[in-house]
Amino acid sequence: MICFLAKLLIKDYDQVQNPGVRRQYGIISGGMGIAFNIFLFVTKFLAGVFSGSISILGDAFNNLSDATSSVVTLVGFKLSGQEADEEHPFGHGRIEYIAGLIVSLFIILTGVELVQSSVKRVINPDRVEFNLFIGAILIISIFIKLIMFHSNMSAAKLIESATLKSVAIDSISDVVTTSIVLLSALINYFFKFNIDGVAGLLVALLIIKSGWEAAVDTINPLLGEPPSKEFIEDVVSTVTSYEGVLGVHDIVIHNYGPTRIFMSLHVEVPAVRDLISVHDLVDSIENELHQKYHCIAVIHMDPVVEGDLETDELKERISKALFQLDPKLSFHDFRIIHNEGTKKVLKFDVVIPYNYALSDTFIIDYLKRYSLIDKDLMDIEITIDKEKETGNLDRRK
C-alpha cells in the first residue's frame, strides 16, 4: 500500500536514493500507521472491555503503542531530512535510526506492562465473554496488520530503511499475538477452559522479543556497521570500470544516515602516468560515485610500478608465503621505496579478517622470514588491514 500511495503522491517516486523522495515514503508509512493503529485500538479496547479479556485489552494497548510509534516514525523521517548546519555538519540522517530505536523501546515497554497484567490474571482468573462480533474484530485486525507488514517491508527494502523494517517486524508480531488472543478466546468459548492470562503472557513475551529484534536493527547502524558485500562489490565494479585503474582497496564507509554517506578508498594507478591525468581520473570517479550513491567520496591515489623485476620477484615471494599460510589472505599497496643515502624499504598491507586465529605479530614475522631479504640492504614495513570478509578481497582487475 505504501508503494502504491507513493506512486500517486510522490513525484519521481522511483528515485529512492533521493533524500526528499525517501523522506516522503517514511511520512506515508507514519500516516498510515497512525490511522490504522488508532482504529484498531478503539475497536479492540471496546471488545476487551465488553469481554473482560486481559489479552484483548493488552493487544489493544499494543496497538495504541504502535500508533505512538508511527508518530515517532513520521517525525523522525521529517527531521532526518533537514540540511546540515553548524552544529551538525554531517546532517541529521541518524535521527531516523534514533526514531527506530524509540519505536523499539515503546514496543518493549508495552510488553513489560502486559507481562505484569497477565501474571495477575493467571493468579486470579476472571470470566471472559466471547461472541461473533469480537471474533470479527480480531480477524479484521489480523488482516489489517498483514497489509501493514507487507507494505512496510516492501517500502523498507525499496528505500533500505531500518525504521520501516522495525515497523514491519512489529506488524507481523502483532499478527501472531492477535492470533494467539483469538485462539485463546475460541478455546475458552468452546471448551470452557480459561487460558486468557497465559495467552496474555505469551503475547507479552512475543511483543518484547519483536521489540528487541527491532532495537538491534537500529542500534547497529548507530554504533557503526560494515556496508553490505553487494554494496562493496558494486563500488569496486564502478571504480575498476575506468581505464587506468589497476585495483581498489581500503574502502571505508561512514554512514551518517541512509542518505548521508561518506566514502574513502584507495585506487591503484600506473606509476608512469602523469599527475594531472591521474587527478582528472580521480575527479571523474569521485563524481560518478557521488551521482550514483548520493555520497561524498574521497580517493587516495596509489602509484603502482609495473615491469620492475625486483618488485615482481618480491611480490611473487610474498604471494606464495600468504597462500601457504592461508589462501584467503591477500595483500595490496606493494611497493619499494628508494631513499637516498639509506636502505630501501619494502612496504605493503596484508588483509586479514577480524578475530583471525593468528596474531598480527605472527603474520608479520612469518612474512619477514619467508621473504629472505637481507636486512642490511632493505627494511620491511608491513601493515595489517582487517576486513569483515576475506574471500573476495583482491580488488585488482
Give the DSSP letter string of 105-170. Answer: HHHHHHHHHHHHHHHHHHHS-------HHHHHHHHHHHHHHHHHHHHHHHHHHHHT-HHHHHHHHH
| Burial 63-90, CB ≥16 within 10 A → b, else e | bbbbbbbbbbbbbbbbebbeeeeeeeee
For residue 187, give every residue at least 6 positions away whose Cβ sits within 8 Å of its Cβ, in sequence order, or none.
193, 195
CA distance 145 to 142: 5
Total residue count of the chain as it appears in this document:
397
Task: Report the pLDDT value the prediction gives residue 184, as an integer from 0 to 100.
Answer: 81
Q: What mean pLDDT value characterizes the chain?
A: 83
- 108 alpha carbon, distance to own chain's centre: 21
Q: Which residue reads 503472557 in cell numbers?
A: 201
| Among the listed residues 334, 335, 345, 329, the one whose alpha carbon sits nearest the alpha carbon of residue 377 | 345
CA distance 142 to 232: 39
In this structure, the number of other CB atoms found within 10 A of the CB of residue 376 comes to 7
Instruction: Please answer whether residues 51 and 126 qualify as being in contact, where contact means their C-beta atoms are separated by less than 8 angstroms.
Output: no
CA distance 13 to 274: 44
Give pTM, 2 decimals: 0.59
Task: Report the pLDDT value the prediction gives residue 242, as an integer from 0 to 100.
Answer: 93
Angle formed by the axes of helices 19-51 and 2-9, nearest 10°: 130
Instruction: Please answer whether residues 260 and 225 qualify as being in contact, where contact means their C-beta atoms are separated by less than 8 angstroms.
Output: no
Task: Report the pLDDT value the prediction gives residue 278, as an integer from 0 to 100.
Answer: 92
In the chain, alpha helices (H): 2-9, 19-51, 54-80, 95-123, 132-159, 162-191, 196-223, 229-240, 275-293, 309-325, 360-371
Instruction: Please answer whether residues 281 and 269 qualify as being in contact, where contact means their C-beta atoms are separated by less than 8 angstroms.
Output: yes
CA distance 146 to 327: 47
CA distance 280 to 259: 26
Q: Which three cell numbers stand for residue 284?
A: 571523474
Q: Which residues of the chain have pLDDT under 50?
A: 390-397
In this structure, the number of other CB atoms found within 10 A of the CB of residue 116 comes to 10
Give the DSSP letter string of 86-99. Answer: SS-TT-STTHHHHH
CA distance 280 to 241: 15
Q: Domains of the chain (ranges plus CATH)?
A: 2-223 (1.20.1510.10), 226-304 (3.30.70.1350), 306-397 (3.30.70.1350)
- Digit-coded pLDDT (tens) for 353-380: 888 889 999 999 998 888 777 777 888 8
| Among the listed residues 109, 79, 113, the one whose alpha carbon sits nearest the alpha carbon of residue 96 | 79
Task: Report the pLDDT value the prediction gives residue 388, as an integer from 0 to 100.
Answer: 59
